[in-house]
């Protein structure tokens, strides 16, 4: 491996150390409902985001709160020597993708049937540091 390539690989490794992510797959909530809650915490500091999710009345906020706590734990596992308060963690990215659909039939008038699509989603949450450590 060349010198430039090695230096660049080390830089990427350091950048990844500053980020932590968590994924929630196959959550049985429609993506549209989940995006409403996800938009509330995008770009917000971690402590404030936890409070927003804790006091939100939507059911999707319960799953997102657990996901955020998981991402925080993942960040702590990577950075054991740093504290969360000093790091300035915030929700860098959060996106909701559609997952598989359960298709059900509901009886309709005159012997017909309507298809009911029970949607589910995947949520990916990435935490970042606002304060960059200098060595």
pLDDT per position as a tens digit, 84-94: 888 889 999 99
How is the chain split into domains, by residue range? 21-129
Where does the pLDDT of residue 132 fall: very low under 50, low under 70, confident under 90, or very high at 90 and above?
A: low
Q: Is 70 exceeded by the pLDDT of residue 135? A: no
Reading the block at residue 104, the tokens are 């059900």
Give me the DSSP letters along 15-58.
HHHT-EEEEEEEESS-HHHHHHHHHHHTT-BHHHHHHHHHT--S
pTM of the model: 0.85
Question: What local confidence, expressed as pLDDT, does residue 96 receive?
Answer: 96
Q: What is the pLDDT of residue 129?
A: 86
Torsion angle of C-alpha atoms 75, 46, 125, 78, degrees rounded to 10 = 0
Q: What percentage of residues in the chain have a pLDDT greater than 70?
A: 96
Q: Which of 78, 80, 81 is nearest to 126 (CA)?
A: 78
Output the CA torsion 67→68→73→74 (10° steps): 70
User: Which residue matches tokens 């963690």?
Assistant: 89
Computed over every residue of the chain, the mean pLDDT equals 91
Cα–Cα distances in Å, from 45 out to 16, 59, 109, 131? 19, 21, 51, 12
pLDDT in tens, 61-105: 999 999 999 999 999 998 888 888 888 899 999 999 999 999 999
Q: What is the CATH number of domain 21-129?
A: 3.90.470.10
- Average the pLDDT over 18-29 and give the result: 92
Q: What is the mean pLDDT of residues 16-39?
A: 92
Three-state SS for 79?
coil
């Amino acid at each position: 491996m060349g010198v430039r390539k090695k230096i660049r690989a080390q830089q990427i490794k350091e950048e990844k150390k500053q980020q932590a992510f968590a994924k929630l797959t196959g959550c049985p909530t429609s993506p549209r409902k989940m995006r409403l809650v996800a938009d509330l915490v995008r770009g917000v500091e971690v402590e404030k985001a936890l409070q927003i999710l804790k006091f939100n009345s939507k059911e999707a906020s319960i799953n997102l709160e657990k996901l955020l706590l998981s991402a925080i734990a993942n960040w702590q596992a990577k950075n054991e020597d740093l504290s969360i308060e000093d790091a300035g963690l915030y929700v860098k990215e959060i996106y909701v993708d559609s997952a598989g659909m359960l298709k059900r039939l509901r009886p309709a008038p005159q012997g017909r049937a309507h298809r009911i699509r029970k949607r589910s989603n995947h949520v990916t949450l990435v935490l970042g540091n606002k304060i960059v450590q200098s060595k």
